Amino acid sequence: MIQTIAIGCDHAGFIYKDAIAARLKERGIQVLNFGADSAESVDYPDFAHPVADAVEHGKAQMGIVLCGTGNGVAMTANKHQGIRAALCWTEEVARLVRQHNDANVLAIPARFVSEALALAMVDIFLDTPFEGGRHERRVRKI
Ligand code: RB5
């Protein structure tokens, strides 16, 4: 049961952050917001590191990070031990990264997906369980 999700973004990801936070709250999930809180230009690692840190240290069960392409925040989050940040651009990818990779951070490319798709990917990411089995062995090898 997911109780807390950490969220962070840069200026490019900021456009969807409030909508995503509202969706999480509707679902009864507590949101740890690490900013950014405006469209003013900032450096994405300053916001992705705190999200990854919160998941790494158990303050949140999962994280959501956003930037223009989703890559900068994913690269940053994946520097943390135990973080499996997945760049997602379709609903199917969001489902597969949970089923096969047990991803614990969703990275959204805000400049390349619609708000509706971003929200749909959030729902799928949260609702899809890890399949385990052969995937467990592979994830352990990461
Ligand atoms: C900001 O212009 C952009 O570089 C950033 O949001 C992101 O796409 C980096 O990976």
Summarised one tens digit per residue, pLDDT across range 103-124 is 999 999 999 999 999 999 999 9
Encoded amino acid at 94, one letter: A
* Whole-structure pTM value: 0.98
Instruction: Identify the helix (H) or strand (E) that includes residue 127.
Output: helix 115-127
Boundaries of domain holding 29? 4-140
Nearest CA to ligand 1 atom 4: 68
Q: Determine which one of 9, 11, 67, 88 is catalytic.
A: 67
The pair of structure tokens assigned to 128 is 């899809």
Q: How many domains does the chain have?
A: 1
What CATH number is associated with residue 84?
3.40.1400.10
What three-state secondary structure class fits 68? Answer: coil
Determine the distance separating the centroid of ligand 1 and the alpha carbon of 137, expressed in angstroms: 33
Q: What is the pLDDT of residue 1?
A: 83
The answer, yes or no, to whether any atom of ligand 1 lies below 6 A from the CB of 90, is no
Strand-pair category, 30-33 with 4-9: parallel
